Chain A
């Protein structure tokens, strides 16, 4: 059972990493325009 003592924190750390990544993306405006993002991937030029 002693394995739990570092396995649980490790799992939590990885989860927190994912949460931090999501919050960063949110703050960075990645979710501001979901409709536009869905369309932009179809533009064939990549000037902007």
Chain B
């Protein structure tokens, strides 16, 4: 199937989620004996029932051999026997079930993350196995010390320990060794440097002790340390894995095809990047526009929500400008290209966003800031111990080295390595249960510092789509009739009517006239003119008229309602001492109305994306830490520029990508929840770090004095790790 055919296929007119316009056949992978495989990212899969619906619908298609949805990564792999062109139909099946499906190339997409997770899990398994077995042998040795175990038996135990521990360390330690090497090469240090040095020295010294038949071997500490730290590392990666798969979506949406009308009247499908300004482009109804241009012929309605965040389509006629990324909703258009690729408004916004993001990337998390102090301190202490014992204490250098290594092992940041990820995992798990997805690892830390909240209006304070205004009484028979016509249209107002009267069946033979309205026999539903009413300048919101023969026309008005708890959430934020601002691209009267309704005193209207960005920078300059909440593409640069940001799950992909947290549902409560959990987890992280420090203050002198035995090291290490994890678990409980 050609791209052109795919564009006109019923797929583009599918009801429900946004139409899929990519031709999936380019993503089909051919296997042996006529088998084909397609990888899709599926949005809107929440539970097992969704998985089953998709898999069943696909399995019912002739030729499909297997269809499997991965609920964790929201991805679908479908394999079938037959033509590659069947892909379009399969995507349509998924779309008809109510899920938006996007094909992607598994080879170029985040395969690295899954691989990293597996590698960590393998290392974790090996470390766990080794830690358990070496500990068994070590306990015999410790017990043997009390009951006078023979030297030969102890040596045997040590040799067995070495046999298990050395290969395990060589394998399971790699994540730390490579990260430490990388940091050292850049002449920096991170937490992995003291870890690597500690583990390697402990293993080497233990081997030396084993060879010379010594009393103390630290194999168990070295392996247990790796085991604990790998748990922290794995939890950390896991918590962020879900979010990353959501972010990866944007990559797959990249290439849009554009239909160009050549001078000789032929049509040609080109990638958006190779269209030149001045070319004539055809855009079908339901298609996403790939270029910036001016309307040459046709009259239609454009869904500009991606750019402006406005929920109602904007009517366009000859001479009006249209922008890349918007969707042509009603009728085919012929456009003259004015800008493409890098020069479109869309690209401009994305560039603003990237710029802002780069600035934010400089944020250094608390754990790394500590690591910068910690590594030199620990190594200095170990060196001082060694020199102190050899020069001042006058003992053999082997024994002094033993004490120095004990210092390194005791101070190895086991509790420190768990202190932060344990809290983060529990916090993000708790937020996830309430429909909030944390995307950035440092988001919690940044959220805890917030003192100012900046909100967008449309889609953030409000629901983001129009609902039937029920403040005036509505004739229910008129509503039912209107809804039966409206069911045939994808127009946002028509959809709102259907939501208001959900059980009404759709009338047959409904005809839609773009930009005007619907007709069924002699009943009409549409704008004022369409229903034979004189146009007035009476200022009013969006409306629909229903005209029936022999009866006066009925008017339905719509509004974009506030989120149900908007006012109470704003009030709580005020009470907790946050400064609140409203920053909108909408007109002043609309913004002022909303602002007074929810009780926000500081508001600005008619702001462009660049204005919003500049305002946030001004706030940052004043030393304020801003949480930006927004959903539209016009908010995306501001989301990236803010200290930390959140967006509702109804937001467009780019905004969800730019935001640090994404929340689901029709309520604003998650914003409050986010701030509360962030502050509590920040408190817990600091407590945990204090605990880890206190443990060091007690244990380190013992090690420096040369009193630490492997038994003491093992007890200290496990004890402090348990303490830290236990403290983190408190976050999961209660409110």
Contact = CB atoms under 8 A, between A and B. Distances in A.
A46 B70 CA distance: 17
B164 to A, nearest CB: 7
A40 B51 contact: yes
A33 B73 contact: yes
Contact of A15 (B48, B52, B133, B160): B133
A34 B132 contact: no
Interface string B22-34: 0000000000000
B72 A32 contact: yes
Interface in A13-48: 15-16, 18-19, 22-23, 26, 31-36, 39-40, 42-43, 47-48
B153 A4 contact: yes
A23 B343 CA distance: 50
A8 B156 CA distance: 10
A39 B132 contact: no
Given A8-B160, A26-B118, A26-B121, A15 B132 contact: yes
Contacts of A1: 150, 153
A43 B47 CA distance: 12
A10 interface: no
Contact of B129 (A4, A15, A47): A15
Contacts of B132: 15
Contacts of A35: 71-72
Contacts of A40: 48, 51
B51 A36 contact: yes
Nearest to B117: A31
Contacts of B137: 8
Interface string B52-94: 1001000100000011111111000000000000000000000
B71 A26 contact: no
Contact of B125 (A11, A26, A48): A26
Contact of B48 (A11, A26, A39, A47): A39
Contacts of A31: 121
Nearest to B73: A33
A4 B155 CA distance: 13
B48 A23 contact: no
Given A26-B121, A40-B51, A43-B48, A34 B72 contact: yes
B48 A48 contact: no
A6 to B, nearest CB: 12
A16 B70 contact: no
A40 B59 CA distance: 16
A11 B133 contact: yes
Interface string B284-300: 00000000000000000
Contacts of B160: 8, 12
A12 B164 contact: yes
Given A1-B153, A47-B59, A23 B122 contact: yes
Nearest to B48: A39
B346 interface: no
A15 B163 CA distance: 14
Interface in B126-152: 126, 129, 132-133, 136-137, 150
Given A1-B153, A48-B55, A39 B121 contact: no
Contacts of A15: 129, 132-133
A22 B118 CA distance: 12
A42 B132 CA distance: 35
Contacts of A4: 153, 156
Nearest to A43: B52
B46 to A, nearest CB: 10
Contacts of B55: 48
A19 B133 CA distance: 12
Nearest to B137: A8
Contacts of B71: 33, 35-36, 39
Nearest to B118: A26
Nearest to B70: A33
A12 B159 CA distance: 13
Given A32-B70, A39-B51, 5 more contacts: A11-B136, A15-B133, A26-B125, A32-B114, A35-B72
Q: Which 6 A-B pairs have the closest CB atoms?
A: A39-B48, A36-B71, A35-B71, A33-B70, A19-B129, A35-B72
21 contacts: A1-B150, A8-B160, A11-B136, A12-B160, A15-B133, A19-B125, A26-B121, A33-B73, A34-B72, A35-B71, A36-B69, A36-B71, A36-B72, A39-B48, A39-B71, A40-B48, A42-B48, A43-B48, A43-B52, A47-B59, A48-B59
